Amino acid sequence: MTSARWSAKSHAIRSSTAGVVSWPVIATWPVEHGGRGLSVAHRVAFYEEYAKADAPDKVNHLGEELVGPTLIGYGTPAQRQRFLPAIRDVSELWCQGYSEPGAGSDLAGVSTTAVLDGDHWVINGQKVWTSLAHWAKWCFVLARSERGSQRHAGLSYLLVPLDQPGIEIRPIVQLTGDSEFNEVFFTDARTDADLVVGEPGDGWRVAMATLMYERGVSTLGQQIRYARELSGLVELAKNSGAIDDPSIRERLTRAWAGLQTMRSFALATMDEELPGQDSVAKLLWATWHRDLGELAMDIKGKTGLVLDGGEYDEWQRLFLFSRADTIYGGSNEIQRNIIAERVLGLPK
């Protein structure tokens, strides 16, 4: 999808979803924050049925699943009153300002700065791989607010409006022609002093809480989409004759077994938190999906190297997109380090 087509699609989605209450996450919010106080089991049921219906991705999932719960857990009453209603009715979209050119998987290396100047924070720096920034009205930004601080110390979690002169957004054109990701440049950008979530300098703790929300029960819905992809690959293998190859049959079987493992793990951690569970889950699904993309290309064989009418088909797109699964959101190497150090107690 070209940048122009993506822009047209985003406008259509925003227009069609404005004012529509987002049920799955919002319903589990506490009643006092506009939710219905339903259980996690209700949320799981919705995600699975939503995925089975092959419904489209939610346009404001960052607001619903990350910003909203973070504000409920760490925000001030004024912040909740200002932002939660617009998240509930999908009238304001959000993006995540974490990764930088020099701080991707090693998030503690962020160098974007935020300096308090009277009633405003003044922000300078660059974020990259920022999903949906070209749609969003707001960005939650992790910035270094204490001069000379290192690593996890001295960071603040800021809510920043994107519609201002000090911010430039540049879409990144991917191999597929899509422009889902962006570079975001901050040049004396400003946000109100009271739009820091948590205490100034305590942004790392808030940012990690946000990541925990990101890797929650929604993976059960993700797994159903993966199962649909796997079923499609089985049909492709049958139709192309690749199913006659014993190695292809074995890899398809292993892929099915991997899906069952991911589902069992997700269900086991619904009610009981296990050490390192977020890292284990990310490692499982990212590796599985990357391998599925490679399997798709092997099943297609030589036809996988040819574009039909200049467009990638669904299996070529799967291969190209899944290459990034083991990198974004914390690379496989980072996840293994976390498991080794924090769960197994191995030396650094």
The radius of gyration of the chain from alpha carbons, rounded to an integer in Å, stands at 21
Query: What's the helix, strand, coil split of the chain in %, to 5?
Result: 50, 15, 35
Residue 287 · residue 326 · CB < 8 Å: yes
> In degrees rounded to 5, what are phi and psi of residue 152?
-75, -20
Question: Residue 324 burial by CB count (10 A; 0-12/13-18/19+): exposed, middle or buried?
Answer: middle
Q: Which of 64, 92, 100, 214 is catalytic?
A: 214
Neighbours of 334 (CB within 10 A): 18
> In degrees rounded to 5, what are phi and psi of residue 187?
-125, 100
Answer yes or no: 146 catalytic.
Answer: no
CA torsion 250-254-260-263 (nearest 10°) is: -150
Select from 111, 102, 13 the least CA-distant residue to 55. 13
Query: How far apart are the C-alpha atoms of 286 and 281, rounded to whole Å?
Result: 8
Enumerate the β-bridge partners of residue 308.
311
Just list the catalytic residues: 214
